Amino acid sequence: MLGGIDFGLMDPETYRDMSATKVITADTYDDDGYPIDMGLMDPRLGVIDPGLECRTCGSHSGSCNGHFGHIELAAPVIHVGFTKLIRRLLRSTCRECGRLALDDAQRDEFRDRYERAKELGDDEHDVLKAAVRQARKASTCPFCGEPQADIKHEKPTTYYEVQDVLSGDYSERIAAAMQPDEEEDDPGTSPQELADATDIALDRINEIMAGEFRPRKEDRRAIEKALDVDLTEEDMNKLMPSDIRDWFEDIPDEDLEVLGIDAEHSRPEWMILTVLPVPPVTTRPSITLDNGQRSEDDLTHKLVDIIRINQRFMENREAGAPQLIIEDLWELLQYHVTTFVDNEISGTPPARHRSGRPLKTLSQRLKGKEGRFRGSLSGKRVNFSARTVISPDPTLSLNEVGVPDRVAKEMTQTLNVTERNVEEARQYVRNGPEAHPGANYVRRPDGRRLKVTEKNCEELAEKVEADWEVNRHLVDGDIVIFNRQPSLHRMSIMAHEVVVMPYKTFRLNTVVCPPYNADFDGDEMNMHALQNEEARAEARVLMRVQEQILSPRFGGNIIGAIQDHISGTYLLTHSNPEFTETQALDLLRATRVDELPEADGVDDDGREFWTGRTLFSELLPDDLDLSFTSSAGDEVVIEGGQLIEGTIDEDAVGAFGGEVVDTLTKEYGETRARVFINEIASLAMRAIMNFGFSIGIDDESIPPEAEEQVDDAIESAYDRVQELIETYEAGELESLPGRGVDETLEMKIMQTLGKARDSAGEIADQHFGDDNPAVVMARSGARGSMLNLTQMAGSVGQQAVRGERINRGYEDRTLSHYRPNDLSSEAHGFVENSYRGGLTPQEFFFHAMGGREGLVDTAVRTSKSGYLQRRLINALSELEAQYDGTVRDTSGRIVQFEFGEDGTSPVKVSSGEEDGIDVEGIVDRVVDAEFASDEEKERFLGEREPPTNLSEHAGPGLNKAGGPGVESDD
């Protein structure tokens, strides 16, 4: 078993030992197309061409993984991956002796703290950072006394030593400071006074003033203090990589420990490269284009650049080129090595192809979504999956998904041929790959896989026998997995039964939109065809949509009627309209009901009629008893499967906890609930089509007298706000507890204006008819709210940014249209107009400010949820619920002793309300179904013994059982 993994740096000597060959030439292939010796494609680095033999291990391409080579760099360069650590080391160690600039006591203390942090599992980086901070403070080395310069890091790989040195014009600066300044009433300083103030001999002062003597540090400080003048300038000394390497070589091992570096594995000088490992050719294979030309990998291109510059550097140095040219070439070498490692360093222009495309180098292969980790290791492309746009289809069952025929022909299922299905199997093959339902491949018992083509399908079909396998197309009734990202809860992936359909989109019943959080504005979804019986069986038993009606998040149903379904049932049941026989049959045409119940009555023309509630009741089980309050606010009573009174709306049949759906699922099972949801959705659609349902701008208009009332309400609110402002300005406003006067004023204004909008809403509300479609939608919970209506017809109301009235903009005001410090409503974003009436330019501007906040929030939320999905997947990927009820990771370590800590499925738990599940009802139903006669039932149940051990908390349940029980106090 693996005990642990240590990461460390690699020694340049190890690079050389590992290397199969030194690479010295930038050329790759000779004229005959053979790899050049000691070139970038040297056959000792591995082979990619079939037929060639690896000169290191002797294997052929495919079995040889390749071998590293190396380049001897003409001069050391910095590895970009370590720039921060290099800076930290430079800042905390002595430039002269290399020791950490902490005295022994401090060093030991930090080492102990480091060890302790590691033991306790605290963040040891905090200790490291503190040690570096402390060491950086030292102005001189505690060991050799050398003054320490500050280190400036210019990204990515340049370091400077910064020191304050005596400036060249020190004498002029001193002279200027000694001059009398009449304006400031400064008599100036004489040389004698300066000498007295600084304790420097007068002769020396004179020499310094003449520029003949450079004062030493102590003298300089004294003069600076006496004259209040700065005599220094910054001196920047660039540290070449070779300087840094020499410096790091001096750092003793025991000091490294305090800096968090294990000297056994890593020496800091190894962060400065002197040898560059050359990755094997198998890492950077060249591609042969159609015209026979080779196209090399980006890494090879980069290595070519490195070798070329390396050679030029060596040549120039040997020829004794000037320092400036050498430094330029050095920087160029550094650039190429840097971009070889990472070509996306900020501040450095990326290395590009001639076409302008940036090269994809080492980091780019690993990082990000398409990188090795996220793209190739944690997740991969998967076979038998399809992705396309989704669109709605109310004729499908919620368990079904419409699959385009072209997808069905690509996603296959393996059919194991037996004596019993051999004819069926042959027919699939006979149809060929183009016709649906056909087959794409067959597998013979000997394992050979044959492609079915238009040409060979007839012939092949005759050969198919038992024991063959046929990869047939998806057909109606196959089970597939369907998914929409971000997959944030269990219901984001559910199993559906296939219905093959024409055209190019996946089709879903609209009732499954809430669990997937899907709409049809261009959303795409993924489908996976399952490839073995076990997977198909699991999907059918555990994952089917009907199995997911109850959400494990809140225990209520997440699948149910939405939007127009709700409006439809509302119209059908609210005022209980009457329908003729034709109409009634039409409403129920998409349900199992094929016979109308007894008519509710006879109309004036003598024709029988049925009410909406009666028709709705046809969809309910005959023994359902239920009562609750609807969204519209009336009491809903269902007795014996008949809707006696009340409105069926969001609270009855909606997704997110509709009473009827919830009860049906919990008490009658998922299948019954699925049937009900399908039927209520189609009944509702027929109903809404029967009545007709549309909305237009006129539906939001209110009569002129109502508009006047709204104006009055807002006007009086303005007056009240004005009063508040006046009280405030007079200093008479009393602040609310825990708040300042300003805050209090703001709160009171907000309250007043909030009330103004509410009353505008109430006035508007009074003037809307009950049959107003917007009102129907809001009351039934189908879509929108009365607030939306208020904003359309009455007043939009206060706009807010970060929960406050709008306060930003210009100095002391929001817009230049207002006077400074205007506290009035209109100057701080109260929109008095309605959307229908139209906004003034200022109102429009404030509204845009408020709206922007929401927009930004949404954008931030979506990007966060994507990241959340990734983190969830990573965190949970290896956890598994075992058959013993524990949750364990892949190595068998127990994460939870019982699933969810209590072993309870939230789906099976009542959603908190009392009597969430009618247990007795269920028992009665089950027992009734089980026994033919009352006698048998009694024999089974037996005589009930009165309970003897009564708790004082015994509830009414015990009373029912015949015991005395205790009444509760309230």
Residues 234-273: x/- map of binding to Zn ion (CB under 5 A)? ----------------------------------------
Q: How far apart are CA 136 and CA 94, in angstroms?
A: 10
Nearer to Zn ion, 268 or 612 (CB): 268
* Euclidean distance between CA atoms 153 and 238, whole angstroms: 10
- Joined together, the tokens standing for residue 629 give 């309050």
The amino acid at residue 763 is: I
Q: Alpha-carbon distance 447 to 452, whole Å?
A: 15
Binding of Mg ion at residue 705 (CB under 5 A)?
Answer: no
* Nearest residue (CB) to Zn ion, 46 versus 654: 46
For residues 373 and 520, which CB has a smaller minimum distance to Mg ion in the complex? 520
Q: How far apart are CA 482 and CA 495, in angstroms?
A: 6
Of 32-40, 135-143, 766-774, 908-916, which segment contacts Zn ion by CB under 5 A?
A: 135-143
CA distance 847 to 800: 8
Query: Closer to Mg ion at the Cβ: 525 or 643?
Result: 525
CB of 280 to Zn ion, least distance (A): 8
Among Mg ion, Zn ion, none, residue 54 binds (CB under 5-8 Å by kind): Zn ion
Angle at which helices 241-249 and 83-92 cross, to 10°? 60
Determine if 90 is a binding residue for Zn ion (CB under 5 A): no
Q: Check residue 524 for interaction with Mg ion (CB under 5 A).
A: no
How many Cα neighbours within 13 Å face the side chain of 149?
A: 19
Q: Find the binder of Mg ion among 262, 519, 771, 898 (CB under 5 A).
A: 519
Please identify, among the stretches 146-154, 593-601, 602-610, 663-671, the one whose residues bind Zn ion according to the rule CB under 5 A. 146-154
Instruction: Pick between residue 94 and residue 273 the one whose CB is nearest to Zn ion.
Output: 94
Site for Zn ion in 10-49 (CB under 5 A): 46
Q: Is the separation of the CB atoms in 494 and 543 below 8 Å?
A: yes
Decide whether 29 or 143 has the Cβ nearer to Zn ion. Answer: 143
| Of positions 97, 585, 954, 958, contacts Zn ion by CB under 5 A | 97
Contacts of 764 (CB under 8 A, 6+ apart): 702, 706, 710, 789, 790, 793, 794
If the CB atoms of residues 97 and 450 are measured against Zn ion, the closer one turns out to be 97
Q: What angle do CA 715, 717, 718 make, to 5 degrees?
A: 65
Instruction: Find the part of the chain contacting Mg ion (CB under 5 A) among 117-125, 512-520, 719-727, 961-969.
Output: 512-520
Is 391 a binding residue for Mg ion by CB under 5 A? The answer is no
Q: Which of 284-292, 470-478, 516-524, 662-670 is the region at the interface with Mg ion (rule: CB under 5 A)?
A: 516-524
Tokens describing residue 303: 């290595």
Among 10, 18, 130, 144, the residue binding Zn ion under the rule CB under 5 A is 144
Sequence-distant (≥ 6) Cβ neighbours of residue 243 within 8 angstroms: none
- In whole angstroms, the minimum distance from the beta carbon of 521 to Mg ion comes to 4
> What CA–CA distance (Å, rounded) separates 303 from 807?
58
96 binds, options Zn ion, Mg ion, none, Cβ within 5 to 8 A by partner type: Zn ion
The number of residues making up the chain comes to 970
Minimum distance from residue 520 beta carbon to Mg ion (Å): 7
Tell me: does residue 464 bind Zn ion (CB under 5 A): no
97 binds, among Mg ion, Zn ion, none (CB under 5 to 8 A by kind): Zn ion
Specify the residue, 144 or 644, whose C-beta has the smaller distance to Zn ion: 144
The correct pick among 124, 161, 193, 523 for binding Mg ion (CB under 5 A) is 523
Q: Which is nearest to 568 in space by CA: 647, 656, 665?
A: 647
> Which stretches of 859-935 are assigned E, i.e. beta strand?
880-881, 887-888, 894-896
The residue (of 206 and 517) whose beta carbon lies closer to Mg ion is: 517
* CA dist., res. 145 & res. 96, Å (int): 9
How far is 241 from 334, CA to CA, in rounded Å? 9
Part in contact with Zn ion (CB under 5 A); list of ranges 9-17, 133-141, 448-456, 834-842: 133-141
CA distance 86 to 240: 13
Name which of 232 and 869 has its Cβ closer to Mg ion. 869
CB 67 within 8 A of CB 109: no
Angstrom distance (rounded) from CA 663 to CA 677: 12
Beta bridge partners of 275: 72
143 contact choice in Zn ion, Mg ion, none (CB below 5 to 8 Å, kind-dependent): Zn ion
Q: Using CB distances below 5 to 8 A depending on partner kind, what does residue 519 bind out of Zn ion, Mg ion, none? A: Mg ion
- Contact call for residue 521 and Mg ion (CB under 5 A): yes
Which residue stretch of 369-377, 384-392, 511-519, 682-690 sits at the interface with Mg ion (rule: CB under 5 A)?
511-519
List, in order, residues 6 or more apart from 563 with CB less than 8 Å away: 510, 782, 783
- Min. distance of Cβ 912 from Mg ion in angstroms? 32
From the list 45, 48, 54, 131, which residue makes contact with Zn ion (rule: CB under 5 A)? 54
**Contact yes or no for 398/464 (Cβ under 8 A):** no
| Cβ proximity to Mg ion, 390 vs 481, nearer residue | 390
Q: Is 135 in the site for Zn ion (CB under 5 A)?
A: no
C-beta of 340 vs 506, nearer to Mg ion: 506
Place of tokens 């490291």: 128
Q: What is the dihedral of CA 486, 491, 497, 503, to 10 degrees?
A: -30
User: Which of the ranges 88-96, 476-484, 512-520, 861-869 carries the binding residues for Zn ion, by CB under 5 A?
Assistant: 88-96
523 interacts with, out of Zn ion, Mg ion, none, CB within 5 to 8 A per kind:
Mg ion
Least Cβ distance, residue 787 to Mg ion (angstroms): 24
With H, G, I as helix, E, B as strand and everything else as coil, classify residue 525: strand
Residue 147 tokens, joined: 């003054």
Consecutive H or E run containing 162: strand 158-166
Interaction of residue 231 with Zn ion, rule CB under 5 A: no
Number of alpha carbons in the 13 Å side-chain half-sphere of residue 8:
15
Contact footprint for Mg ion (CB under 5 A): 519, 521, 523
Contact footprint for Zn ion (CB under 5 A): 46, 54, 56-57, 64, 94, 96-97, 141, 143-144, 146
